[in-house]
Amino acid sequence: MGEITTGHYVALSVVLFFIGSVGVLGRKNAITVLMSVELMLNAVNLALLAFSRQWGNHAGQMLAFFVIAVAAVEAAVGLAILVAIFRLRETTNLDDMSTLNE
């Protein structure tokens, strides 16, 4: 077994990102989709940290902190919109949200 290199981390990151994007595009429950977006953002974080270690500078780590903060903001706003929809419609299913399709 060899050493764990940046390539391994990036490969894992790509796999996680892919799983996340399949979740966003394929799932019908808004909360699951939100979780998938978070998964994609964390996959990016993993790649950023691996690259940061590889290059020996802190730009990637710094960026990762901002990504974490923005992910929290997005989760807050996304859940707030979802709560507002749930109050009105009692559903979190994206297929039920189709009044805009003509």
* Residues near other proteins (CB under 8 A): 6, 10, 13, 17, 20-21, 24-25, 30, 33-34, 37, 40-41, 43-44, 47-48, 50-51, 54-55, 57, 59-60, 62-63, 66-67, 70, 73-74, 77-78, 80-82, 84-85, 88-89, 94, 97-102
Residue 1 or 25 with smaller CB distance to other proteins = 25
* Residue indicated by tokens 């020996």: 56
Dihedral (Cα; 56, 58, 60, 63), 10-degree rounding: 180
Element (H, E) at 57: none
Residue 1 or 99 with smaller CB distance to other proteins = 99
Provide the minimum distance between the beta carbon of 4 and other proteins in the complex, in angstroms, as a whole number.
16
Q: Which residues contact 30 (CB under 8 A, 6 or more apart)?
A: 82, 85, 92, 93, 94
